[in-house]
Amino acid sequence: MKSVAFCTLGCKVNQYETDAMEEIFQKAGYEVKGFHENADVYVINTCTVTNMADRKSRQMLHRARKQNPNSVIVAAGCYVQASAEAAEADEAIDLIVGNNCKGQILSMVEEFIAHRDKTVNLIDINHTSDYETMGITKVSEHTRAYIKIQDGCNQFCSYCIIPFARGRVRSRKMEDILKEVSALADSGYKEIVLTGIHISSYGTDFKDSQAGLIDLVENLSEITGIERIRFGSLEPGIITEEFVKRLVKIKQICPHFHLSLQSGCEATLKRMNRHYTPEDYKARCELLGRYFDRPAFTTDVIVGFPGETEEEFQDTKSFLEDIHFAEMHIFKYSPRKGTKAAQMPEQVDERIKTQRSAVLLELGKKMAEDYRRDCGDKVLKVLIEEEIQSENGPVWTGHSQEYIKCGIKSDKIKSNDIINCRMTGGNHEDFVFCEIID
């Protein structure tokens, strides 16, 4: 029996596509092995979001080659799409599979095995309107299924290479999504997370339909067995009164909104080519807060963007405190070759980036504690994921609809149960202790 091993770098879209490629190989009779094991074929699903991601992609490709010099090494995804010449020159790589070509990976591998000629399978990703259809019947996580609903991005933020690696917005047919989610629900999955490169753009490229993201969610909510629907990441602009009024009627919606921010300073946002102001962003949060009970707002923030002065950084810090996020992901700006921001003057010193990052990480920790405290009297609906061993013995852990990680000591629950509980006030480093309520 032939064997294949996978390594996934980067985002949840890549993980979804790896799950889909894994199923393609399994249906063809391949045994799926761990990446650290010897395999006949290694598929590295690469990332290019930062220069570090490029480096990591190359490292994993070379690690696979060293592990089994006679195996077939496949470099797939964003790194090879954005850096085709470097990938072609890399002797560790046998087969290059770009974005929108992953669905044909099996035939490409079999062709290479037959002829042993290095091949490059790339399309002009910036001039395609076709969404590559790939599907899954199982996922790498046991209780939560990430569903890819679109690909590509039209935003062209000045720091981001992804539109050049993923192309323009291409939405997946709604009937394909509904069919896939129905099958996953039949397999027992209760929560789905809608993911993509820019899911707020879902449906904007449909020529024969006005269906958008909210229409998709309404249809998904009618699938028997799906009890929770969560968004991956949303752009603030999609949060309108009409959108929220329709959203709040969907009982499966998790009141957890990851709204991409990047900076709380208007001047910085302009240099980033982000299409909103801090005031716009705050208004969207307030709108959601009027319709949902204590929703969790989470976000991404970049510190040390070119030209960011101390005053601009303080503006961002004040804005973050004002919104009071439940969780923040803090990134130090890293120049990405091929983007406008990499050529901007006034690049910020690495030492200053590190200092600013530390300040926001500390702030994020405090705000997360504040948010959990604010939900202390709230009934939390928790999807049980796994049992872990703690210093106090076995504890079942899972996430609430607000994405608060909870720990429950009980011998009456199991993985994939959804239970009602309330915080007890005790904290573990990874979760808050809760007790079941009837």
Q: Is domain 144-374 given the CATH code 3.80.30.20 in the classification?
A: yes
Burial classification of residue 412, based on how many CB atoms lie within 10 Å of its CB (0-12 exposed, 13-18 middle, 19 or more buried): exposed
Residue 277 CB: number of other CB atoms within 10 A? 14
Please say whether the beta carbons of 139 and 172 come within 8 A.
no
Per-residue pLDDT of the chain (438 residues; tens, 9 = 90+): 899 999 999 999 999 999 999 999 999 999 999 999 999 999 999 999 998 999 999 999 999 999 999 999 999 999 999 999 999 999 999 999 999 999 999 999 999 999 888 878 888 888 888 888 888 888 877 789 999 999 999 999 999 999 999 999 999 999 999 999 999 999 999 999 999 999 999 999 998 888 999 999 999 999 999 999 999 999 999 999 999 999 999 999 999 999 999 999 999 999 999 999 999 999 999 999 999 999 999 999 999 999 999 999 999 999 999 999 999 999 999 999 999 999 999 999 999 999 999 999 999 999 999 999 999 999 999 999 999 888 778 999 999 999 999 999 998 899 999 999 999 977 777 899 999 997
Instruction: Concatenate the DSSP letters of all residues of 297-311 into one string.
Output: EEEEEEES-TT--HH
Which CATH code of 3.90.930, 2.30.30, 2.40.50, 1.25.40 fits the domain covering 380-436?
2.40.50
Locate the domains of the chain by residue range: 3-123, 144-374, 380-436
Helix axis angle for 350-374 and 310-323, nearest 10°, is 10
Q: Is domain 3-123 given the CATH code 3.40.50.12160 in the classification?
A: yes
Enter the tokens of residue 47.
């990332």
